[in-house]
Amino acid sequence: MQILVTGGAGFIGSHLVDALLSQGHQVLVLDDLSSGKVENINSAATFKQMSITDENLVTVLMDFQADAVYHLAAQKNVRTSLQNPKFDAEINILGSLNLLQAAIEAKVKKFIFISTGGAIYGETSSLPTDEKHFEQPLSPYGLAKLCFEKYLQLLSQDKMSWSILRLANVYGPRQDPQGEAGVIAIFLDNILKDLPLKINGDGKQTRDYVYVADVVSAAIKVLASEKNDIYNIATSTEKSLLDLADTLQKITQKDFEIIHQEAISGEVRRSCLSAEKFQTQFSWQAEHDFTTGLSLTYKWFQTRL
Ligand code: NAD
């Protein structure tokens, strides 16, 4: 198939591109390189440096004759979205809408949107949280992701099939430890630089950490599906920051210092998603347990330095 991957120079997108190419698909990566890196892009893919907000997007899709679109390009910084909600909406709502309209015009058959679980469900006492749980975004980032989910369902009717994947906290090789990155990338970077690990509050806040290869295998499985639906992609297991630091200590065998900082007000205390629906319908399972995924990620960070 001819497949367009927006955000294909980024962390998750570049792994997805590798997997699609290995299955024999033709891949066009569309990325403005605002946080992605050229070195992440598989040389067998075609690369177009362009923003999803660009009005010439439809020409790109038509020239490429895309059969399917994976949409991962995003302004993904929650703090930026709180400081500048308009900027966030310009990329995550209007840019995504621009892409969706172009895909419909170019007669794309399948649209897969990479969304978020934690930022959409917000604080909830129903754990692991399933897809039926009401949405309660706590940031413009989560709100914009939810908003585009609704646009996708509304505008694609009878025109193309779609899947929405709400990811838990993804980690793995190529995750950028700079800026507001995933905590695992930041911790590993600090450990390798002999810097202390900074934990906000007591460290008992939990997340559902899913390894990037498991996210990619889920994303590949929905490509052929004609059932339009929303799925959580997660391990359905809660890990606290203290659990994370403890496992990293065992894997790295390093005696790093942990500094507790002031808790962040408004931070979600516990987050864990139920992936039962996806597991049942697609015979999928997150195959990397926490220790295995972290060991692989640590090895990659070691080679990177
Ligand atoms: P990333 O920053 O590594 O990848 C995002 C990519 O999008 C980058 O390559 C960036 O250059 C590109 N991009 C940003 N704005 C663009 C624009 N206007 N036009 C074209 N390209 C643009 O981040 P990631 O962690 O790989 O996230 C990928 C997707 O997964 C995002 O949509 C994010 O919201 C979603 N997601 C990620 C996580 C996670 O834990 N990493 C969790 C849930 C959802």
HSE (CB half, 13 Å, CA atoms) of 160?
Answer: 25
Specify whether 267 is located in the same domain as 278: no
Q: Is 172 in the pocket of ligand 1 (CB under 6 A)?
A: no
Number of the ligand 1 atom closest to the C-alpha atom of 37: 9
Specify whether 9 is located in the same domain as 124: yes
Tell me if 103 is assigned to some domain. Answer: yes
Specify whether 40 is located in the same domain as 12: yes
Tell me if 300 is assigned to some domain. Answer: yes
Tell me if 176 is assigned to some domain. Answer: no
pLDDT at 286: 97
Tell me if 178 is assigned to some domain. Answer: no
237 C-alpha to center of ligand 1: Å? 23
Buried b (16+ CB within 10 A) or exposed e, 27-62: bbbbbbeebbeeebbbeebebbebbbbbeebbebbe
Residue for token digits 């690990």? 197
Number of the ligand 1 atom closest to the C-alpha atom of 76: 34
Tell me if 27 is assigned to some domain. Answer: yes
Which residues are known to be catalytic? 141
Give the H or E element holding residue 273. none
Looking at the 3D structure of the chain, how many domains does it have? 2
pLDDT beneath 50, residues of the chain: none
Phi, psi of 299, rounded to the nearest 5 degrees: -60, -40
Specify whether 141 is located in the same domain as 58: yes
CA distance 211 to 289: 8
Which residue's CA is the nearest one to ligand 1's atom 21?
31
Which residue's CA is the nearest one to ligand 1's atom 19?
51
pLDDT at 300: 98
Specify whether 30 is located in the same domain as 65: yes
Specify whether 55 is located in the same domain as 29: yes
pLDDT at 259: 96
pLDDT at 299: 98
Question: Domain range holding 243?
Answer: 183-205+238-271+291-304
Specify whether 106 is located in the same domain as 224: yes
pLDDT at 304: 87
Number of the ligand 1 atom closest to the C-alpha atom of 175: 3
CATH number for the domain harbouring residue 251: 3.90.25.10
SS3 28: strand
Which residue's CA is the nearest one to ligand 1's atom 6?
7
Specify whether 112 is located in the same domain as 194: no
Nearest by Cα to 31 from 21, 45, 44: 45
CA distance 203 to 10: 28
